[in-house]
Amino acid sequence: MSALLELRDLTIRFPTALGESVPVSRVSLRIERGETLALVGESGSGKSLTGLALLGLVPPPGKLDAASQILLDGSDVTRLSGEALRALRGGRIGIVFQDALTSLTPVLTVGDQLREAITAHRKLSARGAREAALALLGEVGLPDPASSYGAYPHELSGGQRQRALIAIALAGQPDLLIADEATTALDVTVQAQVLETLDRLRASRGMAILLITHDLGLVAGRADRVAVMYAGQIVEEASTASLFEAPGHPYTRALFRAIPRLESAVDQLTPIPGGVPLPEEWHAGCRFQPRCSEALDKCATLDPPVVPLAPGASSRCWLPAKGDQ
């Protein structure tokens, strides 16, 4: 059975005044039906652009490289345009962004915007659309769907707005939902509620979720598999359990060491020295090498291979596969 979504060598290029910038470089991923894949990376890793590319939303002048392939149920969607592309957006793949206030139109009620999303993908009467909207609002966990339906975005709380966004994303009954830092701007307790809702919806609808986040902590217990991105490349891919037990890539290991823990206060945390490099600073060889405490000589000049560590797990590194924490 083929994967629901398969990315092969996804590469995004941006022409700039100083030449060409390639913020996403040969990213390959698989998402199976009904699973949650977390795409983890810090700022500048290219994770958000990857998510946008799935919907053909890469901002111009950025473009997908000719060799990139995005296979949805086996067929390539990179060349879609017009009607087919519109059907894809929301109908096969939905997306929820970080800031609900700027994602929703302030001058229309939630109900209006939700109905618009519904009727874009389903043929329903006005009554039918309204009923479908109310049902969706209830499904995403809004306690009073009728009042949320008639409310303007600024009249709702942050968590409620985010749920409304999720409802809109689900209006077309997509098979894949992309959550691009969807809970980052929310309070921690509200975040927990919203993530719980997403998981419930995934189970009830048989949907897959691509969870794009910078927070490794979010991933634990919420994703089936994790892909870690750094400087435009996937540096590690593994099941959540094995990633947390024995991370296969030095960057992942360094991230774990740098995260402050609740249980204990250490005298000094172990940060990753330096900063995330800008695309202009990327060079041949491993992109993490300047900050890597485990680097070998050849890491500076030779591109590391993608080494399989276990079925479904791999690491882009010269070091032999090992896990330590």
Partner 1 sequence: MSQPLLEVTDLVKRYEAGGPLRRRHPVYALNGVSFAIARGETLGLVGESGSGKSTLGRIVVRLVPASGGSVRFEGQEVFGLEGAPLRALRRRMQMVFQDPYSSLNPRLRAGTAVAEGLEIHRLLPRGEVAGRVAQLFEEVGLDASYVSRYPHELSGGQRQRVGIARALAVDPGFLVCDEPVSALDVSVQAQVLNLLKGLQQRRQLSFLFIAHDLAVVRQLAHRVGVMYFGRIVELASAEVIIQRPRHPYTRALLSAVPQPDPRRQRSRIVLSGEPPKPTAPPPGCPFFSRCFHPSKDSRCTAELPLLRPVGESQVACHYAERSTNSAP
In whole angstroms, the minimum distance from the beta carbon of 3 to partner 1 comes to 24
In whole angstroms, the minimum distance from the beta carbon of 67 to partner 1 comes to 30
The first and second tokens of residue 104, run together, are 């929703």
Long-range contact set of residues 137-141: C-beta below 8 Å, sequence gap at least 24: 137/110, 137/163, 137/164, 137/167, 139/167, 139/170, 139/201, 139/204, 140/164, 140/166, 140/167, 140/170, 140/197, 140/201, 141/193, 141/197
Closest CB to partner 1 among 176 and 194?
194
Q: Rounded to the nearest 5°, which phi and psi values hold at 229?
A: -110, 140
Give me the helix-helix angle, 110-121 and 82-91, nearest 10°.
120
Closest CB to partner 1 among 67 and 278?
278
The first and second tokens of residue 295, run together, are 């680097």
The answer to whether 111 and 144 have CB atoms below 8 angstroms apart is: no
**CA separation for the pair 114, 141 (Å, rounded):** 15
Closest CB to partner 1 among 125 and 264?
264
In whole angstroms, the minimum distance from the beta carbon of 143 to partner 1 comes to 7
Closest CB to partner 1 among 136 and 292?
292
In whole angstroms, the minimum distance from the beta carbon of 6 to partner 1 comes to 26
Q: Which residues bind partner 1 (CB under 8 A)?
A: 42-43, 143, 157-160, 187-193, 196, 214-222, 240-241, 244, 254-256, 258-273, 275-276, 291
Closest CB to partner 1 among 80 and 211?
211
In whole angstroms, the minimum distance from the beta carbon of 217 to partner 1 comes to 3
